[in-house]
Structure 1
Amino acid sequence: MDTSIFVNIPTTDLDRAKAFYTALGCTINPNFTDDNAACVVWSDTIYFMVLKREFLATFTDKPIVDPNESLQVALSFSRDSREDVDAILALGLAAGGTEPREAQDYGFMYSRDLDDPDGNSLGFLYMDPTAAAEGPAAYEEQAQA
């Protein structure tokens, strides 16, 4: 059995959130989208349920944090190249997102962060295949050879 991931995130503007995520290349599943929530499809197994804050509050007795003020979770997505990381950041920035800090370049891994218009944190990264399979030390050995 494959496991799917459903990540619930708050929004103050559902239409703006849908426009932002579709600009990144996601699709919206209309079967699970209404006036309170939208199902954002990243892949066959990864979905965001973007929920109006008031609706998300009905799922829990805990307070819903303001993602502009507090970090509840940071999600990272792999990309096939550094250029792909830069390309999705460009799309996100053009669609109203912000880049909260500079790119992180560790040699074996390159990553950039993107906050959606509600402040939810997304990371996009490229990791060298050798480092991904064998660890950063193997990458360093290969780079020095």
Structure 2
Amino acid sequence: MGKMIFVNLPVHDLRKSTSFYEAVGGTKNPQFSDDASSCMVFSEAIHVMLLTHDKYKAFSQRPIADAHKTSAALIALTVEDRTMVDSIVDLAAATGGVADPNPKQDHGFMYGRSYEDPDGNVWEIIWMAAAA
């Protein structure tokens, strides 16, 4: 089996966050989900674990940051083309997120935009030309 990544995010409202992540392309895996977590699958290698604050606290003794006020990480996800970048960011904004909390990037060979999820976590959606 190849390497996989699991991004673990604390969320205020599990149902709302699950719906949001489904809208931007994730698929809920019921095998690894329960009343305190949703495993959102973006590919065979990329999973996002949405965890209630109580469940998240079982994994970390550190205080949970307010991602609306502080930045601890920028998570970037590549997509197949420029149109898909815009489409995903627009879907995020239409389903409770915020479009473009960071400036758009257009370098010709690379195009990117970002969105903020309902809990303030920032995702960058990026297209890069294969030749670059």
TM-score range, shorter chain: over 0.9
Which secondary structure state, in structure 2, belongs to the residue aligned with residue 21 of structure 1? helix
Question: How far, CA to CA, are the matches of 1:68 and 1:57 in structure 2?
Answer: 19
Who is 2:95 aligned against? 95
Name the residue aligned to 2:114: 113
Separation in structure 2 between the aligned mates of residue 2 and residue 101 of structure 1, nearest angstrom: 32
Match for 1:106: what amino acid?
H
SS in 2 for 1:33: strand
The answer to whether the aligner puts 1:58 opposite 2:58 as a matched pair is yes
Unaligned runs of 5+ in 1: 132-145
Q: Which residue of the partner structure matches residue 13 of structure 2?
A: 13
Letter in 2 for 1:14: L
TM-score when scaled to structure 2?
Answer: 0.94
Q: How many percent identity over aligned positions?
A: 39
The alignment's TM-score, normalised by the length of structure 1, stands at 0.86
SS of 1:92's partner is helix
Which protein is bigger by CA-based radius of gyration?
A: 1
Q: What stretches of structure 2 of length at least 5 have no aligned partner?
A: none
Q: CA RMSD in A?
A: 1.1
**Residue 3 of structure 2 corresponds to residue 3 of structure 1:** yes
What is the count of residue pairs matched by the alignment? 131
Give the aligned residue type for 1:86.
D
The residue aligned with 1:135 is none
Identify the structure with the greater helix proportion. 1
Task: Say which SS state the counterpart of residue 2 (structure 1) adopts.
Answer: coil
Q: How far 1:101 moved relative to its partner?
A: 2.9
C-alpha displacement at 1:108, in angstroms? 1.7
In the aligned structure 1, how far is the partner of 2:58 from the partner of 2:122?
22
Structure 1 position 128, deviation (Å): 1.3
Give the aligned partner of residue 39 of structure 1.
39
CA distance in 1, matches of 2:46, 2:25: 13
- 2: CA distance, partners of 1:119 / 1:130: 34
Deviation at 1:63, TM superposition (A): 1.6
Distance (whole Å) between structure 2 residues aligned to residue 3 and residue 59 of structure 1? 21
Indicate the SS of the match to 1:68: coil
**Comparing both structures, which one devotes a greater share of its residues to strand?**
2
Structure 1 residue runs of 4 or more that deviate by more than 6 Å after TM superposition: none
